[in-house]
């Protein structure tokens, strides 16, 4: 069961085994994503009006962002966005591809970091 901590951080377990520096890196990262007609930048704990407009235009309500890189690395790999994915599917996909975390976004809300352990 997901536990809500603050307004922007969601955990899949009550105690995270991930180092605080790792979590801090995700929380302070600018998540750049490519959309069909432009780009958007998501920040944990903030609403993204560009993504909101895109979701409205496509009729979707959710977006999931997986980072192709560890946020503490110097790599410039792309972030991957899935439009309209359910939360349950996102958790399953994260586990499948051994992702430690992903960004969960719901139309007109704030981006949340979900840690998957």
Q: What is the pLDDT along the chain (117 residues), one digit of tens a residue?
A: 344 444 455 544 445 677 778 888 888 889 999 999 899 999 999 999 999 999 999 999 999 999 876 555 555 557 899 999 999 999 999 989 888 889 999 999 999 999 887
pLDDT of residue 83: 96
Tell me if 62 sits within 8 A of 104, measured CB to CB: yes
Residue 77, pLDDT score:
59
- Domain assignments of the chain as residue spans, ordered by start: 3-115
At residue 90, the pLDDT reads 95
Beta strand ranges found along the chain (DSSP E): 3-5, 9-11, 31-35, 38-42, 62-67, 79-83, 101-106, 112-115
Please tell me the pTM assigned to this model.
0.81
Nearest to 79 by CA among 53, 109, 105, 61: 105
């Amino acid at each position: 069961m997901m536990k809500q901590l603050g307004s922007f951080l969601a955990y899949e377990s009550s105690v995270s085994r991930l180092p605080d520096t790792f979590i801090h890196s995700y929380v302070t990262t600018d998540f750049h994503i490519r959309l069909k007609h432009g780009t958007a930048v998501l920040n944990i704990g903030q609403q993204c009006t560009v993504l909101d407009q895109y979701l409205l235009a496509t009729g979707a309500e959710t977006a999931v962002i997986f980072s192709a890189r560890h946020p503490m690395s110097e790599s410039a790999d792309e972030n991957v966005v899935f439009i309209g994915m359910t939360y349950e599917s996102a958790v399953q996909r994260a586990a499948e591809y051994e992702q430690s975390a992903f960004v969960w976004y719901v139309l007109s809300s704030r981006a949340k970091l979900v840690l998957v352990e």
